[in-house]
Structure 1
């Protein structure tokens, strides 16, 4: 018992001495928050200099995409997700859900069971959001690449469409202005409103530059059949004498680029700057013929949306799909060394002017979303060689 009391007494004395020492000013002006500098003098910590907590810390994002590795649309979405992690502090995850809409319900409820704060979904999930999103009020659902006509009443769902028709208009001008034969091509993935929006804008821009331009167009039926893309592009080149071909078919675009390289004509990419992409992946020979790309900056759209949310903007009050286009910096035309090398300066000047006119509303470009199928067919027929 004595030993315990003695130890207790000694401990009390030591602690008291420690408290006195800690509270004592040693003549240097240092206090408890002081940190010795390398020179030995004390540096007082400034609480205001400590890094502030990022908005995304403690919050989770799920991104549902088709599949990675397409070097365009899906890979760009993923890059935007990583940017949200790096710049805003979110904990991020992704899921490759494919294109079979019949499987989406299972994915949807899996995401809900996990309780993610924000979920980015393909447009094929829209009907599920309409039915069930309101049952998960603590979650926010962001549906990308919808049509501009889509709506959802749930106050935790945000829809956005990409105004691809605007950038495709500029691409059409570039193709028509660069073509020597007066015939240009278009190879799409699936024939649907999203891809038709590119086609409609492309034709309008081409006709604006050259009213007599001819455009041959065809669809693969998917986004991964490289052999079919090669076959279609080769046919457009050899049968119709197309000397510029616009590839809007995801990973299958490789086939279009190969056909253009084999036949020494120009190619135009989509979504990402394919000239840069193919150079980075060691396919410099295919990149040689890619004169520009129709940019669909899905990476920017993801980061922009999460930035708006972090800044307190309540985007979920919009029930109709919000179109993001040239004005928002989400679409555009790739300006790289090949663009400046092969697209004549006069053409580039007119494209730059058209871009400004589209933004300020002087030039009105039609979107496929507001056209009937018969109107789209008539437009395509008007330029078919």
Structure 2
């Protein structure tokens, strides 16, 4: 009997520990609440797009929800990814955000060591199998927002040739590109899309050089970079040549309006992947006890995880008939009457055929 009672008490103790999380009582805190500690691992802030917009969500959670936040910047050396995961997990952070599928096998390798932390991945490839009960991942449906970007770009183009510049070739970037091409073809079946890969996420000079090739040699008169920091060079090229750019991930005009107005004024709109919304929502739901784990979800226009930045500048410089057209196409994507291809699951031959089929 005593042995059975001891086993029961031990089980209850373990259960209590596993249930402890953000917002649970902490007798050592004078306010009686355990402050939720949240960290995001990234290469570096300052890209004015992908990680900076996610950081905005962290800051909002700090202000609105009272959580403690940290950003662990590790650079581009992949050898630093595993030590970074170990460091933040050992430090006892409640929620650990990461923005690359490459982190998942690293986390799985140490899953038995870090059962009390919650791991949240954003921009994760949709075929990824989530094997951990304390991991939740989001796949952005970037093909949807770039469908809108491509349709808008083609309607705004005078030459009928628009340009796309990715950081490096990969399924996520190609998913952007497929959407951009499909939207362009809807708006102008004879339209052309020049596409290039910069080969870097940080080399703005290379981004500008390749953008100038599209402008000067291929006749592209509106460019869309999907290249994080390297995309800033693309926007510079547009500024220098009096052309529009469509930004990516964040509302990039907002990031530059105070520091580099000339750059901001070259950005007609941006194809946003709302890392701020995703990060904030997960933290808020975790505090409310409603966040679920052990799965991957696809978030797109319907969930407001992606969308065009329809700010005042966009409205001022986009003719009303084109705004109405973009709104109509967005409604069709939302109600399912308009479909868009995705690079996920597409054969390389089919992808190349689509890309080359619109080459200037």
TM-score bin (small chain): 0.7 to 0.9
Q: Is the 8 A contact 2:41 2:96 kept in 1?
A: yes
Correspondent of 1:329 among 284, 304, 310: 304
Match in the other structure for 1:91: 68
Name the CA distance, whole Å, in 1 between partners of 2:149 and 2:135.
Answer: 32
Match in the other structure for 1:111: 88
Match in the other structure for 2:270: 293
Q: Is the 8 A contact 1:56 1:91 kept in 2?
A: no
Q: Is the 8 A contact 2:132 2:294 kept in 1?
A: no
Deviations 1:310-352 (A, max 9, x none): 232242042xx21111111111101123322332222211211
Name the CA distance, whole Å, in 2 between partners of 1:339 and 1:222.
Answer: 29
Match in the other structure for 2:168: 190
Query: Greater Rg, structure 1 or structure 2?
Result: 1
Name the CA distance, whole Å, in 1 between partners of 2:347 and 2:111.
Answer: 30
Match in the other structure for 2:26: none
Q: Indicate yes or no: 2:182 matched with 1:204.
A: yes
Deviations 1:232-291 (A, max 9, x none): 11110111111111111112222112211222222111112222222221x222322221
Name the CA distance, whole Å, in 2 between partners of 1:384 and 1:315.
Answer: 44
Q: Which runs of 5+ in 2 are unaligned?
A: 1-29
Deviations 1:49-74 (A, max 9, x none): xxxx9998422111101201111111
Correspondent of 1:227 among 205, 220, 244: 205
Deviations 1:28-53 (A, max 9, x none): xxxxxxxxxxxxxxxxxxxxxxxxx9
1:120, CA displacement in angstroms? 0.6
Q: Which runs of 5+ in 1 are unaligned?
A: 1-52
Superposition RMSD on alpha carbons, in Å?
1.9
1:159, CA displacement in angstroms? 1.2
Name the CA distance, whole Å, in 1 between partners of 2:183 and 2:212.
Answer: 23
Match in the other structure for 2:194: 216
Q: Is the 8 A contact 1:134 1:154 kept in 2?
A: no
Q: Is the 8 A contact 2:179 2:342 kept in 1?
A: yes
Q: Please, which moves more after superposition, 113-122 or 205-214?
A: 113-122
1:102, CA displacement in angstroms? 2.5
What are the residue-to-residue correspondences of 1:165-184 with 2, within 5 Å?
165-184=143-162
Q: Please, which moves more after superposition, 99-108 or 262-271?
A: 99-108
Q: Secondary structure of the equivalent of 2:313?
A: helix
Name the CA distance, whole Å, in 2 between partners of 1:65 and 1:349.
Answer: 38
1:137, CA displacement in angstroms? 1.7
Q: Indicate yes or no: 2:318 matched with 1:340.
A: no
Q: Secondary structure of the equivalent of 1:293?
A: strand
Correspondent of 1:376 among 329, 332, 351: 351
| Cα distance change, pair 87–245 in 1 and its aligned pair in 2 (3 A) | same
| Cα distance change, pair 373–118 in 1 and its aligned pair in 2 (3 A) | same
- More helix per residue: 1
Q: Is the 8 A contact 1:273 1:295 kept in 2?
A: yes
Q: Is the 8 A contact 1:173 1:351 kept in 2?
A: yes
What are the residue-to-residue correspondences of 1:58-97 with 2, within 5 Å?
58-97=35-74
TM-score (norm 2): 0.87
Q: Secondary structure of the equivalent of 1:246?
A: strand
Q: Please, which moves more after superposition, 164-173 or 56-65?
A: 56-65
Q: Secondary structure of the equivalent of 1:158?
A: strand
Name the CA distance, whole Å, in 1 between partners of 2:90 and 2:39.
Answer: 12
What are the residue-to-residue correspondences of 1:20-35 with 2, within 5 Å?
none
Q: Is the 8 A contact 1:57 1:88 kept in 2?
A: no
Q: Secondary structure of the equivalent of 2:35?
A: coil
Match in the other structure for 2:133: 155
Name the CA distance, whole Å, in 2 between partners of 1:204 and 1:292.
Answer: 19
Deviations 1:163-205 (A, max 9, x none): 1111111000110000010000011111112211111111111
1:294, CA displacement in angstroms? 0.6
